[in-house]
Amino acid sequence: MEKMVNIFLFGKKYEVPENLTIMTAMEYAGYQLVRGCGCRNGFCGACATIYRIKGDKELKACLACQTKVEDNMYIATLPFFPLVKQVYDIETVPVTESVMMQLYPEIYACIGCNACTKSCTQELNVMQYIAYAQRGDFEKCAEESFDCVMCGVCSSRCPAGISHPQVAMLARRINGKYLAPGCGHLEDRVKEIKNGDFNELIEALMEKPIDEMKELYNNRDIEK
Amino acid sequence: MYSEKFQKSLALVEAAREKNIALEPDRMTAKQKEDLLAAFHPDYKKDEFQELKIGPNKGEKVPTELAEILQAHSRISASSIDLENPDYETDVLIIGGGGAGSSAAIEADNAGAKVMIVTKLRIGDANTMMAEGGIQAADKPNDSPATHFVDAFGGGHFAAKRELLSQLVCNAPEAIQWLSNLGVEFDKTEDGTMVTTHGGGTSRKRMHAAKDYSGAEIMRTLRDEVLNRNIPVIDFTAAIELILDENGRAAGAVLMNMETKELMVAKAKTVIIATGGAGRMHYQGFPTSNHYGATADGLVLGYRVGAKLLYAETLQYHPTGVAFPEQIFGALVTEKVRSLGAKLVNVNGEVFMHPLETRDVSAASIIRECSERGNGVDTGNGLGVWLDTPMIEEIGGEGTIMSRIPAMWRMFAKYGIDIRKEPILVYPTLHYQNGGLDINPDCMTTNVENLFVAGEAVGGIHGKNRLMGNSLLDIIVFGRIAGQSAGAKCKDVTVGKLTLDHIEKFEAEIGKAGIDTEKVSPVLLPDYTRRK
């Protein structure tokens, strides 16, 4: 017989097997999820959840699909949080720290409480990547924030009203487009294809009988 | 930390590690692969398939679960829908907010069309978000689109539509460039050279990645771009039936608010189906690596208005789904783990295959190891084999796992397993729908005008099996083509009177064929209530 634990979904008590995640426990309890459920694998950030274990002062945040239930866990899901996403044109966006001043000036109101970092469901150093953004160090901000799933828990805890995931998104796109080194072999290949350099090779493959294709495939050399 | 019952096998794996790292296992011959697949691949289990009795693919076999929803009732009757006063009117209606739908939206917007996305969950809730390993493109000097073609054609059992496959490989480098220009952060060396690796069945190292968040990085960038362009995204709204005009051309869809169940009508000059895959149908009872909404909706919508399917009988079982712990059962362990050097090892610590055979062959080989050969590890929730991840650190140096596959480390660390020091247990999981709707190279379906398809809902690009990294590629390449084609086509379209007559015709066929069913479709979401 599997061991059962008591959990409280939005304050209401349910008894569920202890080996379930919060998400599967909700389903076990009878919820047909529409909100707060996406990839079920820790990548999409749909299932941000806050909880407190009875008697514990600390309020914790997690992804419901990645976290096991515990006895006396009080659970509230946070399927949507009103993040601010500013609209910009990636082709003309300024690649200086002034862009942050223009689009997300509230990052300069950070009081350094570190609540964002403490609440991050991905254990990222959120306050640090915001500090990089303040300085216009997009590369470091991009790197530090890379594993962000944009669940929004950090922003829900921020007294300065910062939309951290959107700030990081902007930094990553600027870094990817403007600051990362260009790629010569990619540009060359695109030009060669446009120039028709491979047309003959491809056309030959379009008509080749299946037997010859098999021959070609089964005897191709494979890079070590 | 693994419990006592795993320790004996674990000790064998550790003892053999040095020897196993040095070992270069043979690749299978064509004949060996054929025999293996026939005996152990789920696609070859005849009693799991059912013949379609109605519709454009009548007489062909598809998985039983798919046959049931393709031949099910509509969720609505035509008489309950007011087609005269559409709630939305647009040039291009895109159904689905994943990588293909978002790419299509951006390109249709570039073409000057009025675009709208409807998605039953949120934009980005899609398999694209979960693709970990990477995206293929032949952009290195030792590689060429022709080599890429041969790899993919052979890997797909010589069944791909060549006119689609040539589009895929020839547009691949430009797709990478397009994504880079949108700000996607690919792994590069300091001089800008792309860091590329092998995938199963590739003959050149052409797998580009963004750590092991490749799909997530692409998806969040595309989503940001769609939002920057103010393209309307109607979320938590499913398309539940296509609408044709009096001339039989696609002209919109009936929409349903997933929360309030309100029905609405969207009228459009062209429609793009970008609804993705079918993992949540759990064919043959397999777990899945797919996102929550992967229920083959697009195939159902298309089939009911007469669009043809191609290779709907072939599914991809990813060889390395999580077999343990139970909480993440079926989740994806990216193929990149094997690209970086980890080998598959059985209960006795023996390497039983080359780690980079194609996915269908690898999956069948693991199933054989766990069944006929009796060399599986009992996980308490089924069987599995070891994937020896500590090899990666020994081969690539300490820190390789954290810099190249941090998401994998994180997923297992939550359950007390440090993949840098301990191997993991894997078993095949339902991963990809190889088949789908039949299209021409411009992405329009072969037999319903103005109905376009892109992404996993398409059949024929890969043939009967798909190589790693060709799906992220296909959603970008064909998403863009669909957006360009539909965006251009809509300029010449005058929509006739809207109709839902096809519902009644389909009902009549169901009756005539003697199909006795209470099922309605599309499925929209799986029902996991009251289940473990």
With respect to residue B526, please indicate whether it lies within any of the assigned structural domains: no
ipTM of this complex > 0.95? yes
The one-letter amino acid at A24: T
Prior bond of B522 cis (ω within 30°): yes
pLDDT in tens, B370-395: 999 999 999 988 999 999 999 999 99
B151 contacts on A by Cβ (under 8 Å): 217, 220
Q: Cβ of B185 and A180 within 8 Å?
A: yes
Please tell me the distance from the alpha carbon of residue B53 to that of residue A193, in angstroms, as a whole number. Answer: 45
Packing angle of the helix pair B162-170, B470-489 (nearest 10 deg): 100
Closest CA to B235 of B101, B396, B351: B101
Q: Are strands A12-17 and A48-53 parallel, antiparallel or unpaired?
A: unpaired
Contact B52, B58 (CB under 8 A): yes
Question: Both B90 and B189 in a single domain?
Answer: yes
Contact B48, B63 (CB under 8 A): yes
Question: Both B361 and B485 in a single domain?
Answer: no
Q: What amino acid positions of B are annotated as catalytic residues?
A: 318, 338
Chain A CB within 8 Å of residue B3 CB = no
Question: Both A106 and A172 in a single domain?
Answer: yes
Closest CA to B93 of B237, B290, B219: B237
Contact B265, B252 (CB under 8 A): yes
Enter the DSSP assignment of A178. Answer: I
Reply yes or no on whether the pLDDT at B166 is more than 60.
Answer: yes
**Torsion sign over Cα A189, A195, A198, A199:** positive
Domain extent, residue A36, equals: 4-77
Reply yes or no on whether the pLDDT at B232 is more than 90.
Answer: yes
With respect to residue A224, please indicate whether it lies within any of the assigned structural domains: no
| Percent of chain B residues past pLDDT 90, beyond the cut | 97
Q: Cβ of A149 and B216 within 8 Å?
A: yes
- Out of B407, B430, B453, a domain closes at B430
Contact B235, B123 (CB under 8 A): yes
Enter the DSSP assignment of A176. Answer: I
Distance from CA of A81 to the nearest CA of B (A): 13
With respect to residue A93, please indicate whether it lies within any of the assigned structural domains: no
Average pLDDT over every residue of B117-136: 96
Domain extent, residue B24, equals: 4-40+317-430
Q: Are strands B458-459 and B436-438 parallel, antiparallel or unpaired?
A: parallel
Question: Both B164 and B262 in a single domain?
Answer: yes
With respect to residue B467, please indicate whether it lies within any of the assigned structural domains: yes
With respect to residue B267, please indicate whether it lies within any of the assigned structural domains: yes
Distance from CA of B324 to the nearest CA of A (A): 12
Question: Both B280 and B370 in a single domain?
Answer: no
Task: Categorize the per-residue pLDDT at A2 as very low, low, confident or very high, splitting at 50, 70 and 90.
Answer: confident
Chain A CB within 8 Å of residue B116 CB = no
Q: Rounded to a whole number, what is the distance in angstroms from the first to the last CA of chain B?
A: 23
Which of B30, B174, B192 lies nearest to residue A181, judging by beta carbons? B192
Question: Both A141 and A111 in a single domain?
Answer: yes
pLDDT in tens, A168-200: 999 999 999 999 999 999 999 999 999 999 999
Please tell me the distance from the alpha carbon of residue B79 to that of residue B509, in angstroms, as a whole number. Answer: 19
The one-letter amino acid at B391: M
Reply yes or no on whether the pLDDT at B237 is more than 80.
Answer: yes
Contact B104, B526 (CB under 8 A): no
Helices (H) and strands (E) in chain B, counts: 18, 21
CATH number of the structural domain spanning residue A8? 3.10.20.740
Q: Cβ of B532 and A24 within 8 Å?
A: yes
Distance from CA of A2 to the nearest CA of B (A): 11
Please tell me the distance from the alpha carbon of residue A138 to that of residue A148, in angstroms, as a whole number. Answer: 15
Enter the DSSP assignment of A64. Answer: G
Query: C-alpha distances in angstroms, A97 versus A111, A129, B228?
Result: 19, 14, 20
**Torsion sign over Cα B382, B384, B390, B393:** negative
Helix (H, G, I), strand (E, B) or coil at B314: coil
With respect to residue A63, please indicate whether it lies within any of the assigned structural domains: yes
Reply yes or no on whether the pLDDT at B501 is more than 50.
Answer: yes
What does chain A come to in residues? 224
**In chain B, how many domains are there?**
2
Q: Rounded to a whole number, what is the distance in angstroms from the first to the last CA of chain A?
A: 51
Q: Are strands B135-136 and B115-118 parallel, antiparallel or unpaired?
A: unpaired
Please tell me the distance from the alpha carbon of residue B293 to that of residue B276, in angstroms, as a whole number. Answer: 9
Question: Both B371 and B391 in a single domain?
Answer: yes
**In chain A, how many domains are there?**
3
- Out of B382, B398, B430, a domain closes at B430
Please tell me the distance from the alpha carbon of residue B214 to that of residue A176, in angstroms, as a whole number. Answer: 13
Closest CA to A148 of B252, B407, B208: B407
With respect to residue B128, please indicate whether it lies within any of the assigned structural domains: no
- Out of B430, B461, B479, a domain closes at B430
Contact A20, A6 (CB under 8 A): no
Please tell me the distance from the alpha carbon of residue B470 to that of residue B455, in angstroms, as a whole number. Answer: 11
| Cα within 13 Å of Cα(B509), Cβ side | 21
Average pLDDT over every residue of A45-65: 96
Report the residue of A186, A192, A221 to disrupt the B interface, i.e. the one with the largest count of B CBs within 10 Å: A186
Closest CA to B193 of A109, A184, A125, A210: A184
- Out of A19, A44, A77, a domain closes at A77
pLDDT of residue B531: 54
Measure CA B373 to chain center. 30
Please tell me the distance from the alpha carbon of residue B138 to that of residue B169, in angstroms, as a whole number. Answer: 7
Other beta carbons within 10 angstroms of residue A57's beta carbon come to: 6
Question: Both B161 and B280 in a single domain?
Answer: yes
Q: Cβ of B30 and A40 within 8 Å?
A: no
Average pLDDT over every residue of B451-462: 98
Question: Both B236 and B380 in a single domain?
Answer: no
B289 contacts on A by Cβ (under 8 Å): 41
Q: From its phi and psi, is residue B211 left (phi > 0), alpha (psi between -120 and 50) or beta?
A: left
Reply yes or no on whether the pLDDT at B442 is more than 50.
Answer: yes
Q: Cβ of A181 and B182 within 8 Å?
A: no
Task: Categorize the per-residue pLDDT at B100 as very low, low, confident or very high, splitting at 50, 70 and 90.
Answer: very high
With respect to residue A83, please indicate whether it lies within any of the assigned structural domains: no
Question: Both A153 and A210 in a single domain?
Answer: no
Helix (H, G, I), strand (E, B) or coil at B93: strand
Report the residue of B28, B123, B129 to disrupt the A interface, i.e. the one with the largest count of A CBs within 10 Å: B129
pLDDT of residue B403: 92
Closest CA to B454 of B424, B477, B431, B435: B477
Query: C-alpha distances in angstroms, B373 versus B7, B146, B351?
Result: 21, 39, 13
Helix (H, G, I), strand (E, B) or coil at B470: helix
Question: Both B152 and B16 in a single domain?
Answer: no
Enter the DSSP assignment of B27. Answer: P
Please list the residues that pair with B438 across neighbouring strands: B459
pLDDT in tens, B320-344: 999 999 889 999 999 999 999 999 9
B153 contacts on A by Cβ (under 8 Å): 205, 213, 217
Question: Both B386 and B290 in a single domain?
Answer: no
Reply yes or no on whether the pLDDT at A1 is more than 70.
Answer: no
A168 contacts on B by Cβ (under 8 Å): none
Q: What DSSP line would sit under B285-304, residue for residue? A: G--B-S-TT-S-HHHHHHHH
Average pLDDT over every residue of B357-363: 94
Please tell me the distance from the alpha carbon of residue B28 to that of residue B22, in angstroms, as a whole number. Answer: 19
Residue B138: both structure tokens together:
């032949």
Task: Categorize the per-residue pLDDT at B532 as very low, low, confident or very high, splitting at 50, 70 and 90.
Answer: very low
Enter the DSSP assignment of B44. Answer: G
Q: Cβ of B192 and A33 within 8 Å?
A: no
A66 contacts on B by Cβ (under 8 Å): 411, 414
Closest CA to B224 of A187, A145, A90: A90
pLDDT of residue A135: 96
Q: From its phi and psi, is residue B408 left (phi > 0), alpha (psi between -120 and 50) or beta?
A: alpha
Q: Cβ of B158 and A39 within 8 Å?
A: no
What does chain B come to in residues? 532
Q: Which of residues 348-407 of B touch A (CB under 8 A)?
A: 406-407
pLDDT in tens, B107-118: 999 999 999 999
Question: Both B201 and B347 in a single domain?
Answer: no
With respect to residue B25, please indicate whether it lies within any of the assigned structural domains: yes
With respect to residue A92, please indicate whether it lies within any of the assigned structural domains: no
Helix (H, G, I), strand (E, B) or coil at B179: helix
Task: Categorize the per-residue pLDDT at B1 as very low, low, confident or very high, splitting at 50, 70 and 90.
Answer: confident
With respect to residue B243, please indicate whether it lies within any of the assigned structural domains: yes
Q: Which residue of B has its CA nearest to A87?
A: B228
Question: Both B414 and B387 in a single domain?
Answer: yes
Please list the residues that pair with A77 across neighbouring strands: A49
pLDDT of residue B66: 98
Contact B125, A42 (CB under 8 A): no
pLDDT of residue A105: 97
Q: Cβ of B332 and A41 within 8 Å?
A: yes
Packing angle of the helix pair B172-182, B162-170 (nearest 10 deg): 40
Distance from CA of A119 to the nearest CA of B (A): 16
**Torsion sign over Cα B483, B486, B491, B496:** negative
Helix (H, G, I), strand (E, B) or coil at B59: coil
With respect to residue B383, please indicate whether it lies within any of the assigned structural domains: yes
With respect to residue A82, please indicate whether it lies within any of the assigned structural domains: no
Burial of B382 (0-12, 13-18, 19+ CB in 10 A): middle
B230 contacts on A by Cβ (under 8 Å): 87
CATH number of the structural domain spanning residue B157? 3.50.50.60
pLDDT of residue A5: 98
With respect to residue A200, please indicate whether it lies within any of the assigned structural domains: yes
Average pLDDT over every residue of B453-465: 97
Helix (H, G, I), strand (E, B) or coil at B135: strand
Average pLDDT over every residue of B167-179: 98
Residues with Cβ within 8 Å of B406's Cβ and at least 6 positions away in sequence, in order, are A147, B211, B212, B213
Residues with Cβ within 8 Å of B224's Cβ and at least 6 positions away in sequence, in order, are A85, A169, A173
Question: Both B222 and B144 in a single domain?
Answer: yes
Q: Which of residues 234-263 of B touch A (CB under 8 A)?
A: 236, 258-259
With respect to residue B525, please indicate whether it lies within any of the assigned structural domains: no
